[in-house]
Amino acid sequence: MTPVNGAHALLATLEANGVTTCFANPGTSEMHFVAGLDDIRAVHAILCLFEGVATGAADGYARVTRRPAATLLHLGPGLANGWANLHNARRAHVPLLNIIGDHATYHGAFNAPLQSDIRALASALDGWIRTSTDSDHVASDVADAIHAAYGPPSQVATLILPADVSWNELTTRPAKWPVVSRPPLIAPSEHELVRAIDALRSKRTAILVGGATLDAEQLNLAERIAVASSSKFLVETFPAIMERGVGIASPERLIYVPEFAAAQLQDIDALVVLGARDPVSFFAYPNVPSALRAPTCDLIDIGAPGTDTLSALTVLADALGPARIPAAVGDVADAPSGELTTQSLAAAIAATLPDDCVVSDESNTAGVHFYGATRFAPRHSWMTLTGGAIGMGLPLALGAAVGSGRRVLALEADGSMMYTLQALWTMARESLDVTVVGLSNRSYAILNFERQRVGAIGEGSAGQRLLDIDDPTLDLCALASAQGVPSVRVTTAEELVEALRRSYATPGPMFIEAVLPKRLI
């Protein structure tokens, strides 16, 4: 591999830092990167047919491994196409190395058709951004980007790589490529810890966990603290990834509907937050407060993203002493039968969930009973829609399968699926063990619900027609099999159970279209 160009320096530095997975949708300005893959073979590039698949996959990879994958996107439009799932990744606080090929440095001045302000697009991700301008600096730029991606807090690091910086040869090949070590987590604030101990001992307190606090060890520690202090124990509504199932504490989930969430938090004098955020309403509604915490309730935030929440929880648990935690006893309900409802759907999934799988949950309204039903299911990791930008579930499942090698179950609402259905093709191409349940209610059910909530019901059918997606009916099975994923349609709980079991026993992806009653809620 002599001579060495900028693209080689990039790939070699990725390899040196263990960033060996790249979800790619390349174009002309990335051709030297593409060619370099034949020289630096440790970096595995996975082709995605749409950029939103690549970025969501990098997010899923990072959630299960806590390490960054790289993307490879093509200029401003490529970044824009991948932006929504980068927004979700940003809200998940994952490390992600976002590589954007650009025109050659000197070509920008010519305002060619694909020229645009890549930095403006990237700036809206609130992460780290750098344009590499010299082939000799590419390696250190990549190392800085990986360092920035790790954080703390972890973030989306965008590296813009002009084509000539890729193709120009290095003046000298470095003796070794730079390696960055993962920076330590941020120590929790002593002051806030003292406040938390005081509140837990003397006030009506709730503990709200989220973010990187949601592994089994920390959840069980947090439960011990909650029990010892008679505090309420809550988890944020949309965790990036949470360990769940038998033997793991299961806090009450903060409800999406703001009036209900506010009710969960009422009569609380202090809210101790670890890894989550001071809770706010997802959307604004007429005459509903945006803040969910009452003005009279103290906020004690000891676990902003990037904080060492394990040590914080250890301090709190030690301070509060042992707690008698009643053994969490329960069973998963038997496999259901009969018609498919939100209840039987959740029960079917819970009854069949294989051990140690990863769940990518973009089930939206159809998944309302999932959290409760899986309380005593085998241990699994549960990922949700962190940033509200729908079209995340399938890409996230793809990336999680690549990163973990575990069986992934994707629960995917039909409306959301249509944003990034191209992820199915890459699942087939890479023979990934992903079971997709496509939830076909032929409606933007959440919007029908929201529309009623805001009182925005007109007298005609023009508005309603914008929220229904049943004319024509989407054949989800055909969309999957057309992309190489075997598919089956189920209309009863028994059929769903059978299809799930068959998929879990079969290597590779499978798509199950679950036909649900329209407008479940």
Interacting residue with a copy of itself among 26, 60, 152, 354 (CB under 8 A): 26
Identity of residue 240 = A
Binding mask 382-411 for a copy of itself (x = CB under 8 A): ----xxxx-x--------------------
C-alpha dihedral (31, 37, 39, 40), degrees to nearest 10: 130
- The three-class DSSP label of residue 207 is strand
Pick the closer one to a copy of itself by CB: 326 or 472: 472
- Measure the CA–CA gap between 250 and 256, rounded to whole angstroms: 17
DSSP character at residue 454? T
In the complex with a copy of itself, the residue whose CB is nearer, 229 or 363, is 363
Site for a copy of itself in 28-47 (CB under 8 A): 28-29, 31-32, 34-39, 41, 44-45, 47
Told to check if 295 binds a copy of itself by CB under 8 A, we report: no
Question: Which residue of 175, 329, 462, 505 would you call a contact of a copy of itself, by CB under 8 A?
Answer: 462
Tokens 């058709």 — which residue? 113
Indicate whether 459 belongs to the interface with a copy of itself (CB under 8 A).
yes
Distances in Å between the alpha carbon of 482 and those of 358, 442, 476, 487?
A: 25, 20, 10, 10
Which stretch in 173-181, 264-272, 334-342, 462-470 sits in contact with a copy of itself by CB under 8 A?
Answer: 462-470
Work out whether 223 is an interface residue with a copy of itself (CB under 8 A): no
Q: Pick between residue 113 and residue 184 the one whose CB is nearest to a copy of itself.
A: 113
Beta carbon nearer to a copy of itself, 147 or 442: 442
Residue 385, judged by CB atoms within 10 A of its CB (0-12, 13-18, 19+), counts as buried
Scanning the structure block, which residue is given the tokens 């595995």?
44
Select from 158, 213, 229, 422 the one that contacts a copy of itself (CB under 8 A).
422
- Distance, C-alpha 358 to centroid of its chain: 12
The crossing angle, in degrees rounded to 10, of helices 393-404 and 51-65 is 50
Q: How many CB atoms lie within 10 A of CB 348?
A: 29
Q: Give min distance, CB of 126 to a copy of itself, in A.
A: 8
Q: Does 463 bind a copy of itself (CB under 8 A)?
A: yes
Q: In whole angstroms, what is the distance from residue 400 CA to residue 406 CA?
A: 8
Helix (H) or strand (E) holding 271: strand 270-274
CB 432 within 8 A of CB 408: yes
The token pair at 212 is 């990187």
Between 8 and 369, name the residue whose CB sits nearer to a copy of itself.
8
Report the residue number, 133 or 281, with the smaller CB distance to a copy of itself.
281
- Which 192-211 residues touch a copy of itself, going by CB under 8 A? none
Does 438 bind a copy of itself (CB under 8 A)? Our answer is: no
Question: 255-284: which residues touch a copy of itself (CB under 8 A)?
Answer: 277, 280-284
Assess 15 for contact with a copy of itself (CB under 8 A).
Answer: no
* CB-nearer residue toward a copy of itself: 65 or 237: 237
Tokens of 417: 């699926």
User: Quick check: 450 binds a copy of itself (CB under 8 A)?
Assistant: yes
